[in-house]
């Protein structure tokens, strides 16, 4: 499964590669190349905007999950301690099997 974070990182790399391609072809002036460069510039601009929106949404969701978790732990401290202890036990057993 591809996470949003991985998708954002991949999109950032595509933008970097596209900008490098633009710089490498900057000296070419043929009409087709010029048209492709113009479209690529527009697409990079759109991709940057969408990337910023996706990044903001991901950060907002992460903050919300952290806030909900914090509220739950404060409202149910003993349950949280029990869940943490159980998770630690399971992880310890799994590591101990190796």
Indicate the burial class of 26 (C-beta count within 10 angstroms; 0-12, 13-18, 19 or more): exposed
Residue 2 has pLDDT above 70, yes or no: no
Residue 86 gets which letter from DSSP? H
Most confident of 3-12, 47-56, 89-98: 89-98
Residue 75 has pLDDT above 90, yes or no: yes
Quote the domain boundaries for residue 49: 4-96
Whether the full predicted model's pTM is greater than 0.75, yes or no, is: no
Indicate the burial class of 61 (C-beta count within 10 angstroms; 0-12, 13-18, 19 or more): exposed
- In contact, 73 and 80? CB cutoff 8 Å: yes
Domain count of the fold of the chain: 1
Residue 85 has pLDDT above 90, yes or no: yes
């Amino acid at each position: 499964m591809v996470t949003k974070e991985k998708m954002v990182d991949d999109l950032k790399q595509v933008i970097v590669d596209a900008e490098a391609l633009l710089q490498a072809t900057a000296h070419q002036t043929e009409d087709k190349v010029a048209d492709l460069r113009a479209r690529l510039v527009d697409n990079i601009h759109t991709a940057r905007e969408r990337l910023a929106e996706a990044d903001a949404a991901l950060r907002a969701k992460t903050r919300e999950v952290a806030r909900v978790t914090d509220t739950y732990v404060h409202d149910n401290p003993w349950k949280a301690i029990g869940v943490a202890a159980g998770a630690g036990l399971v992880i310890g057993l799994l590591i101990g099997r190796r």
